[in-house]
């Protein structure tokens, strides 16, 4: 969306953000305190927990201590990496590779059956 990103660098966020594309909010890893959909909960599940004061500090920094150019650069960097990783071309390439691998596996698996 072209907006600056502030998040922790843990779990799924690591796949979505990149160096130079977000402001990091410090966190600590804790046992998952709750799950809004209980059937999705797994014993031993953990999450990143950021202190509200740290979140406020990072947001304050973004708004008051960075320039519009810096914020725009962060947002553009984040978007570029996200599209490179998950855009149409990247997804099409991964789908093509998986189809080829599946076809190769099927041919290898079925070859002995067709020979008999």
The structure tokens listed for 9 are 């660098």
Question: Are residues 9 and 29 in contact, defined by beta-carbon separation less than 8 angstroms?
Answer: no
From the list 8, 14, 13, 4, the residue with the least C-alpha distance to 77 is 4
Domain assignment present for residue 23? The answer is yes
* Residue 28 CA: distances (Å) to CA of 47, 54, 81: 8, 11, 26
**What pTM was estimated for this model as a whole?**
0.70
The structure tokens listed for 20 are 């130079």
Residue 70 dihedral angles phi and psi, to the nearest 5° = -65, -45
Note down the domain range covering 19: 6-86
Q: Residue range 2-23: average pLDDT? A: 90
Domain assignment present for residue 116? The answer is no
Q: Residue range 1-27: average pLDDT? A: 90
Our count of domains for the chain comes to 1
pLDDT tens figures, 15-30: 889 888 999 999 999 9
Domain assignment present for residue 71? The answer is yes
pLDDT tens figures, 62-100: 999 999 999 999 999 999 999 999 999 999 999 999 999
């Amino acid at each position: 969306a072209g907006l600056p990103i502030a998040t922790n660098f843990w779990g799924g966020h690591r796949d979505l953000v990149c160096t130079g594309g977000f402001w990091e909010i410090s966190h600590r890893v804790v046992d998952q305190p709750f799950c809004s959909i209980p059937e999705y909960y797994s014993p031993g599940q953990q999450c990143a927990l950021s202190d509200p004061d740290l979140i406020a500090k990072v947001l304050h920094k973004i708004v008051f201590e960075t320039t519009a150019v810096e914020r725009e650069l962060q947002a553009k960097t984040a978007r570029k990496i996200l599209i490179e990783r998950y855009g149409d071309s990247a997804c099409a390439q991964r789908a093509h590779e998986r189809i080829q691998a599946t076809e190769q596996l099927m041919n290898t698996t079925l070859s002995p059956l067709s020979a008999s």
